[in-house]
Amino acid sequence: MSPTASELTQITALTLAHYAQSAIAFRDGTAGHDVSQNIAALLRHLPSTDDAGGVNPLHILDFGCGPGRDLKAFTALGHCAVGLDGTSEFAQIARAETTCTVWQQDFLQLDLPTAYFDGVYANASLFHIPSAELARVLRQLHATLKTDGVLFSSNPRGNNQEGWSNGRYGAYHDLAQWRCFLNDAGFSELEHYYRPTGLPREQQPWLASVWRKVD
Quick one: pLDDT at residue 49? 61
10-residue block means of pLDDT along the chain (215 residues)?
Answer: 91 96 92 92 85 80 97 96 97 96 97 98 97 98 97 97 95 98 98 94 96 94
Residues of the domain holding 129: 5-213
CA distance 206 to 98: 27
- Provide the phi-psi class of 44: left if phi over 0, else alpha when psi is between -120 and 50, else beta: alpha
Per-residue DSSP letters for 12-32?
HHHHHHHHHHTHHHHHHHHTT
* Integer-rounded Cα radius of gyration of the chain: 16
Domain count, the chain: 1
pLDDT of residue 2: 83
Per DSSP, helices labelled H in 85-211 are 88-97, 131-144, 175-184
| Angle of helix 131-144 versus helix 175-184 axis, rounded to 10 | 50
The pLDDT of residue 53 is 64
Q: Residue 52 has what pLDDT?
A: 64
Distances (CA, A) of 66 to 51, 136, 150: 34, 22, 21
65, 71 Cβ separation under 8 angstroms: yes
Q: Kindly report the CA angle at 108 between 9 and 20, in degrees rounded to 5?
A: 65
- Phi and psi based region of residue 213 (left: phi greater than 0; alpha: psi -120 to 50; beta: remaining): beta
Bridge-based pairing of strands 145-156 and 117-123 is parallel
Q: What pLDDT is stored for residue 50 in this prediction?
A: 66
Q: How many CB atoms lie within 10 A of CB 183?
A: 13
Residue 94 · residue 115 · CB < 8 Å: no
| CATH classification at residue 127 | 3.40.50.150
Q: What is the pTM (predicted TM-score) of this model?
A: 0.95
Distance separating alpha carbons of residues 154 and 122, to the nearest angstrom: 7
Position 115 scores a pLDDT of 98
